[in-house]
Amino acid sequence: MSAHIRQTSPFRWEGVKVSPYKADGPHFAGITRQLLFDGGNGLGCQLRYFEIEPGGYSSLERHHHAHAIMVVRGPGRAFVGDRVAELSMNDLVRVPPLTWHQFRAGDAPFGFLCMVDCGRDIPERPNAAALAALRADPAVAGFIRV
Amino acid sequence: MSAHIRQTSPFRWEGVKVSPYKADGPHFAGITRQLLFDGGNGLGCQLRYFEIEPGGYSSLERHHHAHAIMVVRGPGRAFVGDRVAELSMNDLVRVPPLTWHQFRAGDAPFGFLCMVDCGRDIPERPNAAALAALRADPAVAGFIRV
């Protein structure tokens, strides 16, 4: 692929496919994935661009691998660990290992970069006990979608 | 560090230091470095933000490790391999291993993200023979700064 990959329209790039976020499921809505950089040439990490449409949300999940996130189309909201944060353009978010997290758009498209290692584990979704624990906090209960 | 790292003013973040690009030298000008994510929690990669002021430029260099770059404050210009590219906001640039590259700002601040593996080799600068070869192309000769 060319060294220079142009943005062809806002948050769309030449030769970069707009992919489903995950295989179908009821636990996410209105979210797409674009793989901007997929390792290669010895690089052991990926940079993905996720975009959530108004009303949409990512999967509530956790995993051993860490996420390093930067908002590039904002604003948006995130639940990470034990709190809900209002995110603005260019804000950064660390998602540590085994930390429950979910992203939601507000009234506008919400887009963010997510850097991960190429080799990583499969996300886990909350079981009934984990959900009950998360919902013990009313702010979290009002935010999360499953 | 907090899971949520706010942008406090344009392209400045809470707790993120604005660092010199490299140790002093005559081979770069008007460029700063901010380490947004420095691996950790098992993550084997870094995300850096480089900003070049009008008239400034990064070092002309090459190395075995690859770069994955996204423009977030544009426009700007890049020499990669054998050509000079005009870069716009959100454009992507791959810098393959052992490929000469240099970034230059135009009349406005030029900022870009650069994703790299935490473990990587030290950059090499061109010797006289390499410079002569690069300068064989007038477009490249007019662009590069050493």
Q: How does pLDDT run across A22-61, given as a tens digit for each residue?
A: 887 789 999 999 999 999 999 999 999 999 999 999 999 9
CA distance to A100, B8, B49, B54, per residue, from A87 (Å): 17, 12, 19, 30
CB contact under 8 A, B42 and A66: yes
Q: Which residues of B70-109 are buried (b: 16+ CB within 10 A; e: fewer)?
A: bbbbbebbbbbbeebbebeebbbbbbbeebbbbbbbeeeb
| Residues from chain A contacting residue B63 (CB–CB below 8 Å) | none
Active site residue B45: no
Rg over alpha carbons for chain B, rounded to the nearest Å, is: 15
**All residues at 6 or more sequence positions from A78 whose CB lies less than 8 Å from its CB, including other chains:** A69, A84, A85, A87, A93, A101, A102, A103, A104, B4
Q: What is the pTM (predicted TM-score) of this model?
A: 0.96
Shortest Cα–Cα distance, B90 to chain A (Å): 6
Q: Is A55 exposed, middle or buried (0-12, 13-18, 19+ CB in 10 A)?
A: exposed
Selecting from A72, A87, A92 the residue whose C-beta is nearest the C-beta of B36 gives A92
CB contact under 8 A, A117 and B45: yes
Q: What is the mean pLDDT of residues B92-105?
A: 97
| Residues from chain A contacting residue B34 (CB–CB below 8 Å) | none
| Residues from chain B contacting residue A90 (CB–CB below 8 Å) | 7, 10-11, 13, 72
Report the residue of chain B nearest A4, measured CA to CA. Answer: B93
Asked if A146 and A27 count as a contact pair (C-beta separation under 8 A), the reply is: yes
Selecting from B6, B45, B90 the residue whose C-beta is nearest the C-beta of A91 gives B6
CB contact under 8 A, B93 and A65: no
Tell me: the pLDDT tens digits for B40-86? 999 999 999 999 999 999 999 999 999 999 999 989 999 999 999 99
Selecting from A11, A66, A91 the residue whose C-beta is nearest the C-beta of B4 gives A91
The tens place of each residue's pLDDT in chain A, 146 residues long, gives 469 999 999 999 999 999 999 887 789 999 999 999 999 999 999 999 999 999 999 999 999 999 999 999 989 999 999 999 999 999 999 999 999 999 999 999 999 999 999 999 999 999 999 999 999 999 999 999 99
| Residues from chain A contacting residue B113 (CB–CB below 8 Å) | 70, 113
Asked if B134 and B83 count as a contact pair (C-beta separation under 8 A), the reply is: no
Shortest Cα–Cα distance, B44 to chain A (Å): 6
Looking at residue B2, its pLDDT comes to 62
Tell me: the pLDDT tens digits for B117-137? 999 999 999 999 999 999 999
Report the residue of chain A nearest B7, measured CA to CA. Answer: A91
